[in-house]
Structure 1
Amino acid sequence: MDRQKGQHMVKKAIFPVGGLGTRFLPATKALPKEMLPIVDKPLIQYAVEEAIEAGIEEFIFVTGRNKTAIEDHFDHSVELETTLKARGKDQALATVHNMMRDPGSVIYVRQQEPAGLGHAVWCARHIIKDEPVAIILADDLILGKSCLAEMVAAYDSTGGGNMVAVMDVPASQTASYGIVTPGQVNGTSIDVHGLVEKPAPDLAPSTLAVVGRYIIQPEVFATLATQERGAGNEIQLTDALAKQIGKAPFTGLRFSGQRFDCGSKLGFLQANIAFALERPDMADDLRQWVKESI
């Protein structure tokens, strides 16, 4: 696939949003967990904005039942827009309009069973075909520069292969992550020599963990098609990526931002505070309240 100067090949992103969000019940009984707000913006919108900053042009949402709120969020709301316009709320109207993507650039695919991240990604195989694709997990919220933009820049400079975002975690937490066997280090890039899903601390090859950002080659879909089950009796994306080691370059990228695990209640609360402190309209008042409360 030829590239024109100044263009990169990663133009599509998959957003797996089919999970049930049971850790946030009862809030997620009727509301998708990806629609939980960080300050005043849902998690999924942060993910989409990160992708836009990375140059993504096509947005593929792999959904499940009771996820229509996500589709509605990125669609027109005629009644709301008409009301905002009539009341002269131009800034709010612009905010709503800016969320919209070009017609045909947003695609929804139904994951018919919760069989793991690898299965969710595999469900988008017919849309991806023979090109690399980015994957963003909205639960992993990153404050700072677009993590995916950093990955795309590194991907363009190396010319391809598979890539994951990585960060160090405490040894006691390796069983919650995909863990990398690191090789040669070149600045923020690390050669990946091995990858294992959720190893016990005494079996982990390192404390370098995969965070929910990926760029994968189309060959990974062929491996996912075997439907082989891994940790948790689920089809694991990390297992499919591990089987590509030696067949294609595989890189881990240390990103510059601060990651929050918004799949946990503590991480979700921490993210709300951290993002609010970045807001000029509320940072001072929040800082003062926290100081007084503590």
Structure 2
Amino acid sequence: MTRPLLTSSIGFSSPVVDKVERLLEVLAALQEDPLLGRAFTLHGGTALNLFYDRAPRLSVDVDLMFTGAVDRDVMTAMRPEIDRRFREVVGALGYVVQATNDEHSGRTYRVKYPGSHVKVDVSYLARIALLQPELRACRFADPLVTFPVLQLPELAAGKVKALMERVAARDLFDLFRLSMEMPALFDDARARALTIRAACTADSFPRMLRPTEALGRFAQPQVELTEPLYSVLRADEAPEYETMLENVSRWLAPLDDFSAAEIEFVRLLSEHAEYRPQLLFSEWPDVLDRARVDPVMEWKVVNLKKRPAPGR
């Protein structure tokens, strides 16, 4: 296999470009494999920046959902073969594949090459895409690299969830880009419903109910927060940090005002660990059918039910 080369690499550091080209090589090999090509869907920053946007940020990790089987028992039975085949396919490219964890929810691989590695996270918990994934191409790779990717509204919802779970400047930047490219995203009822549902699966829920509550943690950033981001941006296109923060705050503000149905969805989930997806998705039966059997929300409900009763 010929390693894909970035055709839009001006302004990025050579080590970062090299890592992204290797990342694309791994994705291309997975997509060409008869088993793995049907098993994975790409999400996260690489999906946004390389398969939708114009590569403003070079994401250097791979985030994959195992979407080859919804049923837990079927997934569990397939998992050893998926792992074996992943090691075989990626190893055939000349990389050393090292697994750094093996949990029920997923597995992390380090795809090692001299001097560095590419991290690949595989989620076996997030097995359902609520919107049908799309086969998209990275327009900045030669030869072209295609891969199944979450649709943009669901990617945006996932980025909002990430903002609520961690303090990483790359999430702020990705949401800033989305706010510029899709300023009216939350005027769309389906995108809004997807985002509220994603926020409710965050580790911070129900302590944190609205995405804007997370932005306070990004104020007065230290260099440890911003440096990793600016190292993977073009120097002449890096936005001011305060500009990103202000834009994202305005963009997320419509999610502060819940409708009656949204209030009830959040209340039932936060107070009673009762999941009622029909309150959000009744207008879209296909999305509702997938949301009803979503393992991520099933796991969230299990954990909410473990909370001590009020007053204890």
Task: Give the TM-score taking structure 2 as reference length.
Answer: 0.28
Greater length-normalized contact order (CA 8 Å, ≥ 6 residues apart): 1
Task: Give the TM-score taking structure 1 as reference length.
Answer: 0.29
